[in-house]
Amino acid sequence: MILSYTSIAYSLLFLSLGFLAYRFFQYWIRSRTTTSKLFFFLALSFFLFALVTAIRVLFFTDSFEALKNSIVAASFIEGVAASVVAYLIIHLKFPKISPWVGFIVVFLLGIWATILTTAIDYQSLIGKNGVIDWEFPTFEVSTPYLIIRFGIILISFIPLIVILLQQFFSSEDHTIRKRALGLSIVFFLGVGLGFIDFILGNFLREGAVIYRAYTIIILSFCIFLLTLITQKPSYRLE
């Protein structure tokens, strides 16, 4: 096991998303609605993504083969999670359209990103500051890949954030408003994590990359606190 700022950051992210998944599981058990089930599957998918990433930076930093396999697995899980978000968006806002349309479109984008992941030769380095840095072979290879990975997050999370904010502004129920605002902030932080992980973290090198780990640690605490405060077990996801 290798302890670094990066491994600590992703371990905290794994724990915070695990707590969020647990809250959504409680919603689903209480209400048994399609929406609550989809939110649970969504949180569970991103929890698994964080779990694979945490295991990668804790145990497989010195094994290039294991490193690459874990990155491929994380990419696939992220694509599945975004596909669930697309399904949820159409289910909530476009009842005349089959939610599977959104799922399949985003899932295919996720498969594309996963295929690109298999074509990249990674190296991992642990700097003197305790940060794990992922090295891409060339800028030309890394740029399209990272844009696609981050783009999948954008096209799935941004519409969901808009839907939640609409619910916050339109509802007169204090509980619903609190839940919707909390979730919108959590998912906005998810976009922020994606931007840091796929854009800033892979283009800022040397000492600057340590701020990625610091930021992920801070955002993980924010996700945990928002879940604790705004997502009570008694709330219902209708």
* CA 57 to each of CA 117, 194, 201, 214: distance values in angstroms, whole numbers, following the listed order: 17, 17, 15, 15
pLDDT of residue 175: 83
Q: Where are the alpha helices (DSSP H) in 32-138?
A: 34-59, 64-93, 99-118
Q: Is 223 left (phi over 0), alpha (psi -120 to 50) or beta?
A: alpha
71 within 8 A of 12, measured Cβ to Cβ: no
Distance, in Å, from the CA atom of 195 to the CA atom of 197, rounded to the nearest integer, reads 6
> Which tokens go with 119?
């074509």
> Which tokens go with 17?
């998303």
Report yes or no on 204 lying in a domain. Answer: yes
238 within 8 A of 38, measured Cβ to Cβ: no
Report yes or no on 238 lying in a domain. Answer: no
pLDDT of residue 238: 53
Helix (H, G, I), strand (E, B) or coil at 95: coil
Report yes or no on 237 lying in a domain. Answer: no
81-122 pLDDT, tens digit each: 999 999 999 999 998 899 999 999 999 999 988 888 787 665
Distance, in Å, from the CA atom of 52 to the CA atom of 178, rounded to the nearest integer, reads 31
Report yes or no on 235 lying in a domain. Answer: no
Report yes or no on 236 lying in a domain. Answer: no
Distance, in Å, from the CA atom of 86 to the CA atom of 125, rounded to the nearest integer, reads 35
Residues of the chain falling short of pLDDT 50: 128-129, 138-140
Q: Which domain holds residue 209?
A: 5-230
Report yes or no on 52 lying in a domain. Answer: yes
227 within 8 A of 16, measured Cβ to Cβ: yes
In the chain the first and final C-alpha atoms are separated, in Å, by 43
pLDDT of residue 138: 46
Rg over CA atoms, the chain? 18
What CATH number did the domain enclosing 81 receive? 1.20.1070.10
Per the structure, the count of domains in the chain is 1
pLDDT of residue 237: 53
pLDDT of residue 128: 47
* CA 158 to each of CA 36, 70, 164, 185: distance values in angstroms, whole numbers, following the listed order: 19, 27, 10, 11
Report yes or no on 195 lying in a domain. Answer: yes
Q: What is the pTM of this model?
A: 0.83
- Burial grade of 87 (CB within 10 A; 0-12, 13-18, 19 or more): buried
Distance, in Å, from the CA atom of 108 to the CA atom of 123, rounded to the nearest integer, reads 27
